[in-house]
Amino acid sequence: MTKPASAGCVTAATNSWVKCWRALPWSNPVPTLSLKSSDAAGETIVSPCRRQCCLDDQDICLGCGRTLQDILDWSKADQPRQRAICTAAEARLQQRNQVP
């Protein structure tokens, strides 16, 4: 079982305990945030955050698929690192959706 974050609560979801921050009723579905950064080529990388922040027992967000460390590193990460975070997060979400 995980401990709740100081601003959140603990909720049972998909047969495991997860750490969740305020889940607002008007937050479903929520578009991706507009935290953007541009590289020299003008490419914009948008944060994968969906404002559905709930961490499972492995500290992976159920909303966007990023690890807690990925979330903390996002604002300081360069473009290649942000792309890697997005790719890994998407793979985690797809893997979670395939589990029966």
Question: Does residue 17 carry a pLDDT above 60?
Answer: no
Q: Which domain holds residue 44?
A: 24-98
Residue 55's contacts (CB-CB under 8 Å, 6 or more residues apart) are: 2, 18, 19, 20, 61, 62, 68
Q: What is the pLDDT of residues 42-67, one digit of tens each?
A: 678 999 999 999 999 999 999 999 99
Tell whether 8 is covered by a domain.
no
Tell whether 19 is covered by a domain.
no
Is the full-model pTM beyond 0.85? no
Tell whether 82 is covered by a domain.
yes
Average pLDDT along the chain: 73
Tell whether 51 is covered by a domain.
yes
Tell whether 12 is covered by a domain.
no
Tell whether 2 is covered by a domain.
no
Question: Does residue 15 carry a pLDDT above 80?
Answer: no
Distance between CA atoms of residues 53 and 50, nearest Å:
8
Tell whether 17 is covered by a domain.
no
Check residue 21 and give its pLDDT.
53
Tell whether 38 is covered by a domain.
yes
- What total of structural domains would you count in the chain? 1
Q: What single DSSP character describes residue 61? A: B
Looking at the chain, the whole-number percentage of residues with pLDDT higher than 90 is 50
